[in-house]
Structure 1
Amino acid sequence: MTLVLHNFFRSSTSTRLRAALKLKGLDYGYVSYALRKGETRTPKFLALNPQGLVPALEREDGRVLTQSLAIIEWLEETRPQPPLLPADPDGRARVRALANMIACEVHPLNNLRVLGYLAEQFGADEAAQARWFTHWVTTTFDALETMLARDGETGAFCHGDTPGLADICLYAQVWNNRRFQIDTDAWPTIAAIFGRLDAIPAFAEAAPPRQPDAA
């Protein structure tokens, strides 16, 4: 199956999907959109995804999948090896909970659309936007650090010694944090996991600075 990834190098949701595709060993075509230039608001892109958001994964049959976690779950169901979720129900619930802490609690509040709305409607300058971003990252990462540090299910990665869905979300968010000069030193367990992930080619190749449109 030929896949085309519609994405943006700096988008954390795009980073998630790039990492998942690479972990699954799947090749894909790379199509880039500059979000700040409104390239996902054109009629052509809106025909792919009416939300005007990246990533979108276009299949050979023309079907377009949207929402990074939903696409990753589709990959997991159609390309089960290597697995991104544990085999047991308790493990899957834990990994999904860790992933959702980032995907559902940090990312939506710090999305480019939200930061733009803060600027347009409430006059938030770049410094104010950075404080907003940092607040919501810290709120969740403080709890995430505690949960990872105290749980025996945590291994070299978020769940055991094999990277999975939670690690994909964590890796992408840490790269996003760096844009706002948020250092992971305050969260040593998270920092250690990120370091191990960044040493894995599938993750390193998915990182924002290493994409063709990052120059």
Structure 2
Amino acid sequence: MQTMSFPRCSGRLSGDDQSTRRPPPCSSCRGPKPRRPGAATSGLPTSRQMITISSASGAGANRIGPCRSGDDHSAKPMSQDARMAGCGGCQEDAMLTVWGRAESSATARVMWALGEAGVPHRRLDWGGRFGGGDDPAYRAISPHGRIPAITREDGFSLWESNTIIRWLATTCPEAGLWPVDEAVRWQAQAWMDWSAAPGRVIGPVRAAYRRAEPDADEMARTIAAAAETFAVLNAQLQGRTFVVGDQLTVADLALGVVVHRWFRIPEALERPDLPAMEAWYERLRARPAYQDHVVAKVSARPQTLGMGD
């Protein structure tokens, strides 16, 4: 069985002016130096051959791709998400890898958090149409086979998007995503846990309008139920810049993707007015990391009645 190799962090962004000075590395990047060639890498999926990303310049650089049985094993172009994002100065540290497809809400939350924190990372398409969830080696790092999961070359791995975000926020405090005040911190975590509620109601809304022959009563019923849930968040946001105050925190990261899906509902449907939540959504849209990993990836194609899957 072949072990997947993982790259060292180069601290570079594809296409960047390399003379640009980078901020110091995030503490989540500080780990053991990469293993020697051929050394075992524990805790990582090993049942699929991987072509690794290269941090070198020139031909063959910045390429990545999973090889399945019968695949052409030539390297595949690296996706936009797989670029190495900015915390420079960590050439000797292990690269963080995100396993999950870009359009997944859960994956997008993690990618957005990494973008806000400036943590070097790459993303591998996994789950859904890409498969891999039943791979025993993947189940070793994500017991229920769902995405996303993260792995690091030193053997560290973690699953569940909100847990990954908490880990990132606490190990990268300079990003400011983890409130310093204890009371605010607990409130932020409460809102993270509550984020499952809008997650449960947005699914039926999407299913209703995407049917080949949408039912008007079903759409009205599901939108009303979702609006009742989102009204709770709207009330919390009144008089606040972000969910628990004036600073973006883990609470916003947990809720921002599902709210994006709400505002992507087809214009043909009547959506109740939630002004405080809409103003918050516009503030999120002004953030580059949110644009890159949420707006550009989640429900990105035009949302129309009867659009199907």
Q: What's the TM-score bracket when you normalise by the shorter of the two chains?
A: 0.7 to 0.9
Conserved in 2, the CA contact under 8 Å of 1:10 and 1:176? Answer: no
1:175 positional shift:
2.3
CA separation of 1:5 and 1:163: change in aligned 2, threshold 3 A? same
Conserved in 2, the CA contact under 8 Å of 1:174 and 1:184? Answer: no
1:205 alignment counterpart: 292
Q: Which has the larger radius of gyration?
A: 2
Determine which structure has the larger helix proportion and give its number: 1
Deviations 1:95-143 (A, max 9, x none): 22233222x222256569xx99xxxxxxx98847866763553232111
* Aligned match for 2:173, one of 80, 83, 91: 80
Give the TM-score of the pair, scaled to structure 2: 0.55
Conserved in 2, the CA contact under 8 Å of 1:3 and 1:29? Answer: yes
CA distance in 2, matches of 1:88, 1:185: 34
1:173 positional shift:
0.9
2:254 aligned partner, one-letter code: C
CA separation of 1:207 and 1:136: change in aligned 2, threshold 3 A? same
Q: Which runs of 5+ in 1 are unaligned?
A: 117-123
Residue 107, structure 1, aligned to residue 199, structure 2? yes
Q: Which runs of 5+ in 2 are unaligned?
A: 1-93, 302-309
Q: Secondary structure at the match of 1:29?
A: strand
Conserved in 2, the CA contact under 8 Å of 1:2 and 1:60? Answer: yes
1:53 alignment counterpart: 146
* Aligned match for 2:133, one of 38, 41, 60: 41
1:73 aligned partner, one-letter code: R
1:120 alignment counterpart: none
**Structure 1 segment 1-215 matched on structure 2, within 5 A:** 1-35=94-128, 37=129, 39-43=131-135, 44-102=137-195, 104-108=196-200, 127=214, 134-149=223-238, 154=240, 156-178=241-263, 180-181=265-266, 186-207=273-294, 209-210=296-297
Conserved in 1, the CA contact under 8 Å of 2:223 and 2:271? Answer: no
Q: Secondary structure at the match of 2:293?
A: coil
**Structure 1 vs Structure 2 CA RMSD:** 3.2
Conserved in 1, the CA contact under 8 Å of 2:242 and 2:280? Answer: yes
1:57 positional shift:
0.8
Q: Secondary structure at the match of 2:103?
A: coil
CA separation of 1:48 and 1:98: change in aligned 2, threshold 3 A? closer
CA distance in 2, matches of 1:199, 1:42: 38
CA separation of 1:61 and 1:108: change in aligned 2, threshold 3 A? farther
1:166 aligned partner, one-letter code: A
1:48 positional shift:
3.3
CA distance in 1, matches of 2:292, 2:263: 17
1:65 positional shift:
0.4
CA distance in 2, matches of 1:14, 1:127: 28
CA distance in 2, matches of 1:2, 1:101: 31
Conserved in 1, the CA contact under 8 Å of 2:98 and 2:149? Answer: yes
2:198 aligned partner, one-letter code: V
1:121 alignment counterpart: none
